[in-house]
Chain A
Amino acid sequence: MNELLRRSAADLAGLIADGEVSAAEVTDAHLDRIAETDGEIHAFLHVDADGARAAAAAADERRAAGEARGPLDGVPLALKDVLAQEGVPTTAGSKILQGWIPPYSATVTRRLVDAGLVILGKTNMDEFAMGSSTENSGYGPTRNPWDVERIPGGSGGGSAAALAAYQAPLAIGTDTGGSIRQPGAVTGTVGVKPTYGGTSRYGLIALASSLDTPGPCTRTVLDAALLHTVIGGHDPRDATSIDAPVPDVVGAARNGDVAGMKVGVVRELGGEGYAPGVEAMFAKTVALLEKLGAEVVEVSCPNFEYALAAYYLILPAEASSNLARFDAMRYGLRVGDDGTRSAEEVMSLTREAGFGDEVKRRIILGTYALSAGYYDAYYGSAQKVRTLIKNDFDAAFGAADVLISPTAPTTAFRIGERIDDPLAMYINDLCTIPANLAGIAAASFPVGVSADDGLPVGFQVMAPAMADDRLYRVGAALERELAGEWGLAKLGEGAK
Chain B
Amino acid sequence: MSDSIMDGSIMDGSIMDYADALERFDPVLGLEVHVELSTASKMFCGCSTEFGADPNTQTCPVCLALPGGMPVINGAAVESAIRIGLALNCEIAEWSRMSRKNYFYPDMPKNYQISQYDEPIAHDGHVDVEVDGEVIRIGIERAHMEEDTGKSLHVGGATGRIHGASHSLLDYNRAGVPLIEIVTKPIEGTGARAPQVARAYVQLVRDLMRALKVSHARMEQGNVRCDANVSLRPIGQIEFGTRTETKNVNSLRSVERAVAYEISRQAQVLAGGGMITQETRHWQEGSGITTPGRSKETAEDYRYFPEPDLVPIAPDRDWVESLRATLPEPPAERLKRLAGEWGFSELELRDVVAAGAVDVIEQTVAAGSAPQPARKWWLSELARRANEAGVELEELAITPQQVAQVQALVEAKTINDKLARQVIDGVLAGEGDPEQVVEARGLAVVSDDSALGDAVDRAIEANPDVAEKIRGGKVAAAGALIGAVMKEMKGQADAGRVRELIIERLG
Q: Does A182 contact B (CB under 8 A)?
A: no
State whether B112 touches A324 (Cβ < 8 A).
yes
Knowing A206-B70, A347-B104, say if A330 contacts B65 (CB, 8 Å): yes
B65 to chain A, nearest CB (A): 4
A211 to chain B, nearest CB (A): 8
B-contacting residues, A90-110, CB 8 Å: 90, 92, 97, 100, 102-104, 106
Knowing A84-B68, A203-B61, say if A330 contacts B109 (CB, 8 Å): yes
Q: How far is the CA of A103 from the CA of B309 in the complex (A)?
A: 21
Q: Does B303 contact A (CB under 8 A)?
A: yes
Closest residue on chain B to residue A210 by CB atoms = B308
The interface residues of chain A lying within 8 Å CB-to-CB of B69 are 202-203
Q: How far is the CA of A240 from the CA of B309 in the complex (A)?
A: 7
A196 to chain B, nearest CB (A): 11
B-contacting residues, A218-243, CB 8 Å: 236-240
Of the listed stretches A18-26, A296-304, A370-378, A427-435, chain B binds: A370-378
State whether B68 touches A106 (Cβ < 8 A).
yes
Q: B33-67, CB under 8 A of A: which get 1 and which 0? A: 00000000000000000000000000011001111
Knowing A321-B100, A324-B102, A344-B104, say if A208 contacts B67 (CB, 8 Å): no
Q: How far is the CA of A324 from the CA of B303 in the complex (A)?
A: 12
State whether B303 touches A370 (Cβ < 8 A).
yes
State whether A202 touches B308 (Cβ < 8 A).
no
Q: How far is the CA of A344 from the CA of B105 in the complex (A)?
A: 8
Interface size on B, residues (CB 8 A): 32
Q: A192-218, CB under 8 A of B: which get 1 and which 0? A: 000000000111111011100000000
Q: Does A367 contact B (CB under 8 A)?
A: yes
Q: CB within 8 A of B168: which of A102, A204, A343?
A: A343
The interface residues of chain A lying within 8 Å CB-to-CB of B308 are 208-210, 318
Q: CB within 8 A of B66: which of A102, A321, A372?
A: A102
Q: How far is the CA of A201 from the CA of B67 in the complex (A)?
A: 11
B474 to chain A, nearest CB (A): 81
Q: How far is the CA of A239 from the CA of B71 in the complex (A)?
A: 7
Q: B292-320, CB under 8 A of A: which get 1 and which 0? A: 00000001010111001111000000000
Q: How far is the CA of A201 from the CA of B310 in the complex (A)?
A: 12
State whether A372 touches B301 (Cβ < 8 A).
yes
Knowing A84-B67, A90-B67, say if A104 contacts B102 (CB, 8 Å): no
The interface residues of chain B lying within 8 Å CB-to-CB of A318 are 305, 308
Q: B90-115, CB under 8 A of A: which get 1 and which 0? A: 00000000001010101001111000
State whether B61 touches A104 (Cβ < 8 A).
yes
Q: How far is the CA of A47 from the CA of B476 in the complex (A)?
A: 97
A378 to chain B, nearest CB (A): 11
A383 to chain B, nearest CB (A): 8
A-B contact count (CB 8 A): 105
A-contacting residues, B128-178, CB 8 Å: 166, 168, 170
A329 to chain B, nearest CB (A): 5
Q: Does A306 contact B (CB under 8 A)?
A: no
Q: How far is the CA of A380 from the CA of B69 in the complex (A)?
A: 26
The interface residues of chain A, by DSSP majority, are classed as: loop
Interface size on A, residues (CB 8 A): 45
State whether A324 touches B61 (Cβ < 8 A).
no
Q: CB within 8 A of B72: which of A239, A330, A331, A347?
A: A239
Q: How far is the CA of A210 from the CA of B104 in the complex (A)?
A: 22
Q: Does A266 contact B (CB under 8 A)?
A: no
Q: Does A327 contact B (CB under 8 A)?
A: yes
State whether B111 touches A325 (Cβ < 8 A).
yes
Q: Does A83 contact B (CB under 8 A)?
A: yes
A-contacting residues, B255-309, CB 8 Å: 299, 301, 303-305, 308-309
B114 to chain A, nearest CB (A): 11
A343 to chain B, nearest CB (A): 5
State whether A370 touches B305 (Cβ < 8 A).
yes
Q: A59-83, CB under 8 A of B: which get 1 and which 0? A: 0000000000000000000000001
The interface residues of chain A lying within 8 Å CB-to-CB of B309 are 201, 206, 209, 239-240
Q: Does B386 contact A (CB under 8 A)?
A: no
B439 to chain A, nearest CB (A): 52
Q: How far is the CA of A343 from the CA of B64 in the complex (A)?
A: 17
Q: Does A317 contact B (CB under 8 A)?
A: yes
State whether B104 touches A375 (Cβ < 8 A).
no
Q: How far is the CA of A100 from the CA of B67 in the complex (A)?
A: 10
Closest residue on chain A to residue B170 by CB atoms = A329
State whether A321 touches B112 (Cβ < 8 A).
yes
Knowing A321-B303, A324-B112, say if A370 contacts B102 (CB, 8 Å): yes
The interface residues of chain A lying within 8 Å CB-to-CB of B65 are 325, 330
A281 to chain B, nearest CB (A): 36
Q: How far is the CA of A100 from the CA of B226 in the complex (A)?
A: 39
Closest residue on chain B to residue A204 by CB atoms = B68
State whether B72 touches A83 (Cβ < 8 A).
no
B110 to chain A, nearest CB (A): 5
Q: Does B15 contact A (CB under 8 A)?
A: no
Q: How far is the CA of A379 from the CA of B72 in the complex (A)?
A: 24
B156 to chain A, nearest CB (A): 10
The interface residues of chain B lying within 8 Å CB-to-CB of A273 are none
The interface residues of chain B lying within 8 Å CB-to-CB of A379 are 305
Q: How far is the CA of A84 from the CA of B69 in the complex (A)?
A: 10
State whether B303 touches A203 (Cβ < 8 A).
no
A362 to chain B, nearest CB (A): 14
State whether B70 touches A239 (Cβ < 8 A).
yes
State whether A239 touches B73 (Cβ < 8 A).
yes
Q: CB within 8 A of A103: which of B61, B110, B311?
A: B61
Knowing A102-B66, A240-B311, say if A317 contacts B305 (CB, 8 Å): yes
Closest residue on chain A to residue B111 by CB atoms = A324
The interface residues of chain A lying within 8 Å CB-to-CB of B64 are 330
Q: How far is the CA of A372 from the CA of B102 in the complex (A)?
A: 12
Q: List 25 A-B contacts (CB under 8 A).
A: A97-B67, A102-B67, A104-B66, A202-B68, A206-B70, A237-B72, A239-B70, A239-B71, A239-B73, A318-B308, A321-B112, A324-B102, A324-B104, A324-B111, A324-B112, A325-B67, A327-B104, A327-B111, A329-B106, A329-B170, A331-B67, A367-B303, A370-B102, A371-B301, A372-B299
Told that A201-B70, A204-B68, A321-B305 touch, could you supply 18 new A-B pairs with CB distance under 8 A? A92-B67, A102-B61, A102-B67, A103-B61, A104-B60, A201-B309, A202-B69, A203-B61, A239-B311, A318-B308, A324-B112, A327-B106, A329-B109, A330-B64, A330-B65, A370-B304, A371-B303, A372-B299
Interface residues, chain B, with chain A CB atoms under 8 Å away: 60-61, 64-73, 100, 102, 104, 106, 109-112, 166, 168, 170, 299, 301, 303-305, 308-311
Closest A-B pairs by Cβ, 7 of them: A324-B111, A209-B308, A370-B303, A210-B308, A203-B68, A205-B67, A325-B65
